[in-house]
Amino acid sequence: MNTPATSASTADLHAFQHAFGAYLRGQHPCPAGLPPARGQIYQELVRTNIQGFVDACLPVCRSLLEASAWDGLICDFIAAHPLTSPWFRDIPAQFVAYLDSPGLLERRSLPPWLATLAHYEWMELEVDTRDTRDTRNTRDTRNTTAADARYVLNPSLALVCYPWPVHRIGPDWAPPTGTPAQPTCLALYRNPQDTVVFTELSPWTFRLLGLMAEEGQSADRALTQLALEIQHPSPAELIRQGHTQLRELQQLGLLHGAPA
C-alpha cells in the first residue's frame, strides 16, 4: 500500500516527466530543478534527431527552402503536431501530414506545392521499404487468357496522382509563383535492380492500372471497363492499344511475368 509520501513522490515525478516532455517539444519552460544548460542539451538532441530523419527522407524539400524557414518548420512540427507513432521510421510520414495541415503553407508563405513534393519524396521511401511478399497486387492467372496471364503487377507498385509535376521539381526548376496546378499521374516501383524508379502515366493508363491493382481485374476486363467509362467509340481498338501499352510497361519492370 502506498504511503502519502510515496504517492506525493510519484505525483511529483509524473508532473516533472510531463513538464520535461513538454519542454523537449518547446511547449514549456525548463522544469524547476533542471539546470537550463543541461536541459538545452536534451532539447537539442531531440530536435536534431527528429530533423535527421526528416532531412534524410526529404532532401529536395530541404534544399529548396532557406535554412531558417526549414528549421522553423521542424521546431513547429515538434511543438505542435500530434505524433501518433512511437517508431522512428514513421517520423517522415508524420512530417508530411504536418505540412498538409490546412492553411500551414499560406501562413508561412511557403510554395503551394511543398506538401505535395514532400509526399512524393516520402513515397520513394515507402516503396523502397515495401514488403514485396504482400500479394494483394497480384492475382490468380489460372483462368485467364494467354494475353492476360503475362500481366502481373509489380508488388512494389504505388500509383499516385498529384496536382503538380513533383518529379520535375528540384534545385534547377520549381513551378513559378502563380503557375496553375498541372495534374500529374505517376507510378513508383522497384525495378529488377531493386532501385526505386518512377514512370509518368497518362490519365487513362493510370486508371487502367488502378483497376487492375485495386479490383484485381484482368487486363481485358479492365480495358473493357475503361472503354465504357470514357465512352470510347471503338472498344476493340482501345483494348489493342492497351495491350501494347502494357507490354511497354512490362519491359520497364512495372509489370511482372513473361510474354505468353
Judged by DSSP in three states, 129 sits in coil
**117 part of a folded domain:** no
> What gap in Å lies between CA 155 and CA 153, rounded to an integer?
6
**230 part of a folded domain:** yes
Same domain, 139 and 260: yes
Q: What is the pLDDT, as a whole number, of residue 9?
A: 80
**119 part of a folded domain:** no
Q: Which domain holds residue 194?
A: 134-260
Same domain, 157 and 248: yes
> What gap in Å lies between CA 131 and CA 50, rounded to an integer?
25
The 10s digit of each residue's pLDDT in 11-20 is 777 887 887 7
Q: What is the pLDDT, as a whole number, of residue 3?
A: 54
Alpha helices in the chain (DSSP H): 4-24, 36-57, 59-64, 67-80, 91-99, 104-107, 114-128, 146-149, 203-214, 219-229, 235-252
**25 part of a folded domain:** yes
Whether 239 and 172 have beta carbons less than 8 Å apart is answered as no
Same domain, 138 and 55: no
Q: Which residues of 227-244 are buried (b: 16+ CB within 10 A; e: fewer)?
A: beeeebeebeebbeebbe
Same domain, 145 and 228: yes
Same domain, 252 and 144: yes
Q: What is the pLDDT, as a whole number, of residue 19?
A: 79
Q: What is the pLDDT, as a whole number, of residue 158?
A: 96
Q: What is the pLDDT, as a whole number, of residue 186?
A: 98
**56 part of a folded domain:** yes
Name the stretches of the chain with pLDDT < 70: 1-8, 134-150, 257-260
The identity of residue 119, as a single letter, is H
Q: What is the pLDDT, as a whole number, of residue 260?
A: 41
The number of folded domains in the chain is 2
Residue located via cell numbers 506525493: 8
User: In CATH, what number is assigned to the domain containing residue 209?
Assistant: 3.90.930.50
Measured at the CA of 218, the angle between CA 252 and CA 138, to 5 degrees, comes to 60
Q: What is the pLDDT, as a whole number, of residue 259?
A: 40
